Amino acid sequence: MWSTAADRRLAQEQQGEVHDPEGERRWRACKLLGCKVAAIVNNRHEKPLEALSGELAENIQREDLEPMELAEALARFVDEGNMSQRQIGEMLGKPTTYVSVYLSLLKLQDGIRERLYDTGLVTDPETLNNLRQLHKLDPEWVEEICAQAEAEEGLSRRDTREWLRVAKKVKDQGVRPKDAFLAEGAAPKEPEASKERPGKGSAKAHYWKSR
């Protein structure tokens, strides 16, 4: 058994063959150059973790994966590889917080996912996780936030950070988070530059007003 991808490739080259499980782009390049490529179809629905780790690292660099796709891939390393979030981060060259944020997406409430993520209105992992945590503290408020996001076609990450900050601050005081936020009299702020992918969010600030 060859311990690294480089070792396996060297052995294949010595035999006059190269088996590359990763790429359509490489296949297309060979096709353009007129090279003959032997295609072997693996009928397994899921890739081995070793192959997945290399492909995942490459796709992260190219930002080719949707947040939920990345979250589900990371979960396989936890469930099948018994790896900690720190180990996964080291393998991918990412901080532990990066892994934690994406894995938390798998705990996203169905309503938030269906109304915001699945529709493409909000895809930013931090924004979604802020809403997930806020939902545990004030689900009715999050319902209103989802409706507002649908009406205005977007949601600001900065807003969700502020709402969650206030909610955590008053969670043991018997005060509804939304009421506490309104009581603070938050003044409108300059909207944060959008960090979501183009077309999948909004940089508008939606500071809540009493009705």
DSSP code per residue over 167-190 = HHHHTTTT--HHHHHHHTTPPP-P
Using the 8-state DSSP alphabet, how is residue 174 labeled? T
Question: Which of 13, 17, 22, 24 is labelled catalytic?
Answer: 24
- The SS3 of residue 111 is helix
Q: How far apart are CA 194 and CA 150, in angstroms?
A: 17
Q: How far apart are CA 179 and CA 170, in angstroms?
A: 10
Q: How far apart are CA 184 and CA 89, in angstroms?
A: 38
Question: Of 116, 185, 166, which Cα lies nearest the Cα of 144?
Answer: 116
Catalytic residue list contains 126: no
Tokens 């939304």, residue located? 178
- Catalytic amino acids? 24
